[in-house]
Amino acid sequence: MHQDLHEVIEKSRKAGVQAFVSVTEQENEFEKVIGLAERYPGSVMPCFGVHPIQSGAEGQRSATVQDLESALPLFEKYKDKLVAVGEVGLDFTPWLAPTALQREEQQRVLALQLALAKQLALPVNVHSRSAGRQTIAFLKEEGVQDALLHNFAGRPSVALEGVRVGYYFSFPPAVTGHDQRAKLIKQIPLENICLETDSPSLGPKKEERNEPENIGIVCRYIADVKGVPVERVREATTKNALKLFPKIKQHLKE
């Protein structure tokens, strides 16, 4: 996508996308996201976060506090540019975090970033693979008020626990191929739903690169699942996103 980034952004703008909330997964991506925000001011909105699963030369592994420590100075350096802290969370996929010690370490990494988000008065963008119930319970325990559970795949009963706290749930185009996710979307109030693409992953076709312009696909899908007009979903999810990420408004005006 680096080769045709400008083309991707322009196509997305023509499709009606005004803001691109760009998250990181590890410290070496922080400066890259800031570079994009500087190249596309008022369009690319940066978020910093250390993901619970880290990638390196030896493959994927569970995150440690050391992964976060080296990133902390960058949070401080760019705090005025950030619209959220993310992508953070818990990932208890058995082959990625098989031990209790690894899962406890992930919780320490998450707790530190939740505290940082509170300090910076920012919402959090949260990953919760194979840990939906544990993640929502942890957010509640830590007193988090403003959270987006991205690509949530837990049980509807668990999601509704988050709804009661006021959390939001976002869904990418990939959900169009999962009947189970339709059941979840039906039960979550539209007032708690946001749209996402998670580009370049989680597109409508697994083998194809996903792009931000595909956000319209999930908008139409949610409208079909809920039996409401597409425009209603577009308006509600835009309102939700601006409420959850208030700094987006500020950056759009710059």
User: Alpha-carbon Rg of the chain, whole angstroms?
Assistant: 17
Domains, the chain, ranges and CATH?
19-252 (3.20.20.140)
- pLDDT computed for residue 203 by the predictor: 84
Tell me the C-alpha distance between 35 and 54, whole Å: 22
Distance of CA 47 to the CA centre of its chain: 9
- Exposed/middle/buried for residue 143 (C-beta within 10 Å: 0-12, 13-18, 19+): exposed
> Considering Cα of 190, then 169, then 217, then 49, what sign does the dihedral take?
positive
> Considering Cα of 114, then 152, then 68, then 24, what sign does the dihedral take?
negative
| Entry pTM | 0.94
Cis peptide before 31 (omega within 30 of 0): no
- pLDDT computed for residue 221 by the predictor: 96
- pLDDT computed for residue 2 by the predictor: 66
Tell me the C-alpha distance between 33 and 45, whole Å: 8
Pairing of strands 168-171, 147-150: parallel
The answer to whether 245 and 168 are in contact (CB under 8 A) is no
Tens place of pLDDT per residue across the chain (254 aa): 567 888 999 999 888 898 999 999 999 999 999 999 999 999 999 999 999 999 988 899 999 999 999 999 999 999 999 999 999 999 999 999 999 999 999 999 999 999 999 999 999 999 999 999 999 999 999 999 999 999 999 999 999 999 999 999 999 999 998 788 899 999 999 999 999 999 999 888 888 899 999 999 999 999 999 999 999 999 999 999 999 999 998 877 66
Which residues have a Cβ under 8 Å from the Cβ of 130 and sit 6 or more positions away?
A: 91, 92, 93, 94
- pLDDT computed for residue 252 by the predictor: 74
